[in-house]
Amino acid sequence: MKRWKSGWFRTPLRIVVAVGAVVFGVEFLFMALLHDVIMPLTSFTVSDTIWSIIDAVTLVVLVSPVLYFLVFVRMQRDFAELTRFFAELTDTLMMGVLLVDTDLRVHRWNQWMERKTGISSQQACGKLLTELFADFNSPRLLSAIDLCIKHKSPQLISQTLNRYVLPIPLLSTMHDLKLMQQQVSVAPLTNSRGETLAVISINDVTESVAKSSALARLATKMESQSNRDQLTGALTGIFCGHGWRRNSSKACAIARRSVA
């Protein structure tokens, strides 16, 4: 009984059905009382016009819950469809998308995140970021989420100044980077109840970081080799100036463009 009381009325659809049934029942009882008890016992009569009005009201009372019911079911189906659509939309993106609240609790975890972290959406949703990543340590992400949720201000978190925000180990080790390098944005999303969540979008920029640092290493190596005499190993004067450094940087830029 207790379960029925607390649980059954939770959905608006059931409330509509219940209210419809009660209104119709009350009206039916009233009509029966009027027609079968009050009218035969008293001299009270009801004109045809009044009967027509009562019939019309009965019809409306009977039909409106049904109409509402049909519209509501349709709306609920559309809403479920829309929710599924947006959930799947985030799954089609070639970037990590996760939704978190101020406590860092995960509300959505897209397929890209599942693939890159090996943590399924079911495992992630409802958990704290700190539970999912034991060595999570990004004060910048914490303050970005705070600014984003409290002040509705999107935040950009660059790879240049932060390297990464979530420690996601790399699956392939083609280079000496151990963790995924990330460029991240944090944006607010407010629902109709006024609750704001932070949408964290993560771009994996590991490849371009690795490429840039490989080219930088190459340039340093070229510079040091060109600065030495091939036979004696002594420093040559010609390349000691900064001109060569500038040229080698330019060579790198050209090399980078051709690789890209």
Partner 1 sequence: MELDELERDALRELANIGLSRAATQLSELLNDHIEMTVPLVQVVPYGQVTQALQLDPHAMVATVWQSFSGQSEGTSMLMFPSEDSKRLVHALVGPSMREVGEDDLRGIEHEAMMEIGNIIITSGMAVIADMLGQEVQMSLPGYMEGNLPDIMEQRNRDNAGREMQAIIMFTQLKAAQREVEGRMVMLMSVDSVQVLFDRLHKLLRGL
Residue placing its CB nearer to partner 1 in the complex, 35 or 250: 250
Residue placing its CB nearer to partner 1 in the complex, 130 or 213: 213
Q: If binding is defined by CB under 8 A, does position 161 make contact with partner 1?
A: yes
Residue 177 beta carbon to partner 1: minimum distance, rounded to whole angstroms: 13
Residue placing its CB nearer to partner 1 in the complex, 125 or 255: 255
CA dist 190 and 39 (Å) reads 59
Question: Which parts of 21-50 interact with partner 1 (CB under 8 A)?
Answer: none
List the alpha helices (DSSP H) in the chain: 2-7, 12-32, 39-41, 48-92, 111-117, 121-124, 129-132, 139-151, 159-162, 206-226, 242-259
Q: If binding is defined by CB under 8 A, does position 149 make contact with partner 1?
A: no
Q: If binding is defined by CB under 8 A, does position 219 make contact with partner 1?
A: yes
Considering only residues 152, 207, 238, 243, which one is a binding residue for partner 1 as defined by CB under 8 A? 152
Q: Which of 114-151 are b and which e, b meaning 16 or more Cβ less than 10 Å from the residue's Cβ?
A: bebbebebeebeeeebeebbeebebeebbebbebbbee
Compute the radius of gyration of the chain from its Cα atoms: 35
Question: Which parts of 183-212 interact with partner 1 (CB under 8 A)?
Answer: 183, 185, 187-188, 212
Q: If binding is defined by CB under 8 A, does position 14 make contact with partner 1?
A: no
CA dist 37 and 251 (Å) reads 103
152 by DSSP, 3-state: which?
coil
Query: CB–CB of 30/57 below 8 Å?
Result: no
Q: Residue 106: beta bridge partners?
A: 100
Residue 224 beta carbon to partner 1: minimum distance, rounded to whole angstroms: 11
Considering only residues 56, 60, 70, 156, which one is a binding residue for partner 1 as defined by CB under 8 A? 156
What residue ranges bind partner 1 (CB under 8 A)? 139-140, 143, 147, 150-162, 183, 185, 187-188, 212-213, 215-217, 219-220, 223, 245, 248-250, 252-257
